[in-house]
């Protein structure tokens, strides 16, 4: 299989590229700079409106992972605009390019996020659940809608609603580890908010599964089958590291530190279920939190 991959240098993209190449598949990276283009790279710069249509021809699939990081800095109006544009605008431009190809790929796997559901408390959220409210929910809804052009062209489009990706090499877990290893980790707010998560090796496996499974189409929850509350996550991580977890970040303090991002990323409760993945026969290598964290942390 020949696969186009955007966001190939990110945490998920780099792991996916290694996995596909190791499995004998051809990988072409979608890159922004013409200096990066070459034997394994094709230029695609949505901000500049630059796309190498000829280089995109002849691929069997495309995996679209590119997008501005939503964590880290506070969500200023400018940052929110970049988050939205990088996902919605970038996806729309990529799909426009795919529609112009003489030989478009048969399948497109596009990242989305469980932020689609918003803050829903203990409600179990399956792919048919309606969208929630808030900035992230709005972005995710528009992000998925931006792939409609590719679907009209005849591509089988899979929108992966990805939960928190667990890896010691990057992402949310890597940011938490210094505090937890120092014994300064603890719950956030009430700790009762649900966290939908997935181990990085499983996410790579889910993407491969989505590429090859003709039955998968539309929204797919890319999360492990056993979400946990923030309190449970905190206790499990502390137990594995052998460190206390008595610290607390109250909700008001989280809002002072992170503003709107605190309510949508740290305090929101999303209890998503991978209904479509399980029905399609995907078997999780790491369905439980503790058995996922121990190998990731070398424990």
- Residue 115 inside a domain? The answer is yes
Per-residue model confidence (pLDDT) at position 38: 67
Residue 17 domain-assigned (yes or no): yes
Three-state SS string over the chain comes to CEEEEECCCCHHHHHHHHHHHHCCCEEEEEECCCCCCCCCEEEEECCCCEECHHHHCCCCEEEECCCCCCCCCCCCHHHHHHHHHHHHHHHHHHHHHHHCCCCCCCEEEEEEEHHHHCCCCCCEECCCCCCCCCHHHHHHHHHHHCCHHHHHCCCEEEEEEECEEECCCCHHHHHHHHHHHCCCCEEECCCCCEECEEEHHHHHHHHHHHHHCCCCCEEEEECCCCCEEHHHHHHHHHHHHCCCCCEEECHHHHHHHHCHHHHHHHCCCCEECCHHHHHCCCCCCCCCHHHHHHHHCCC
Determine, yes or no, domain membership for 295: no
Question: How far is residue 226's CA from residue 155's CA, in Å, rounded to a whole number?
Answer: 31
Give residue 191's pLDDT. 97
In a domain, 237, yes or no: no
pLDDT of 34 reads 66
Position 37 confidence tier, pLDDT thresholds 50, 70, 90: low
Read off the pLDDT of residues 223-240 as tens digits, 9 standing for 90 and up.
Answer: 999 999 999 999 999 999
Give the CATH number for residue 104.
Answer: 3.40.50.720
The predicted pLDDT at position 151 comes to 94
pLDDT the model gives residue 73: 77
- pTM of the prediction? 0.95
Output the pLDDT for position 47.
82
Tens digits of residue pLDDT in 91-112: 999 999 999 999 999 999 999 9
Residue 186 scores a pLDDT above 90? yes
Stretch 192-196: mean pLDDT, rounded? 98
Number of domains within the chain: 1
Is 296 part of a structural domain of the chain?
no
Give domain status of residue 230, yes or no.
Answer: no
Give residue 74's pLDDT. Answer: 87
State the residue range of the domain holding 139: 2-165+196-224+271-285
Mean pLDDT of 291-298: 96
Say if 183 falls within a structural domain.
no
Domain membership of residue 137 (yes or no) is: yes
């Amino acid at each position: 299989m020949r696969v186009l991959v955007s966001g190939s240098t990110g945490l998920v993209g780099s792991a996916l590229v290694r996995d596909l190449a190791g499995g004998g598949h051809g990988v072409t990276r979608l890159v922004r700079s013409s200096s990066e283009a070459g034997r394994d790279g094709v230029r695609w710069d949505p901000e500049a409106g630059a796309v190498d249509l000829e280089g995109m021809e002849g691929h069997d699939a495309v995996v679209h992972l590119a997008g501005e990081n939503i964590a880290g800095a506070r969500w200023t109006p400018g940052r929110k605009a970049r988050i939205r544009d990088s996902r919605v605008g970038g996806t729309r431009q990529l799909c426009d390019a795919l529609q112009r190809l003489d030989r478009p790929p048969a399948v497109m796997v596009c990242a989305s996020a469980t932020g689609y559901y918003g803050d829903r408390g203990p409600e179990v959220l399956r792919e048919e659940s309606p969208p929630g409210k808030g900035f992230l929910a709005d972005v995710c809804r528009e992000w998925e809608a931006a792939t409609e052009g590719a679907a009209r062209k005849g591509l089988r489009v899979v929108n992966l609603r990805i939960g928190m990706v667990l890896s010691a090499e990057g992402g949310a877990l890597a940011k938490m580890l210094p505090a937890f290893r120092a014994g300064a980790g603890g719950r956030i707010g009430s700790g009762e908010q649900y966290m939908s998560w997935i181990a990085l090796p499983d996410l790579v496996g889910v993407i491969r599964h989505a590429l090859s499974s003709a039955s998968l189409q539309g929204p797919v929850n890319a999360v492990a089958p056993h979400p946990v509350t923030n309190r449970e996550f905190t206790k499990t991580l502390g137990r594995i590291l052998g460190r206390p977890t008595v610290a607390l970040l109250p909700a008001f303090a989280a809002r002072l530190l992170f503003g709107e991002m605190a309510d949508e990323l740290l305090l929101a409760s999303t209890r998503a279920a991978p209904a479509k993945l399980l029905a399609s026969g995907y078997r999780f290598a790491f369905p439980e939190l503790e058995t996922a964290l121990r190998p990731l942390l070398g424990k």
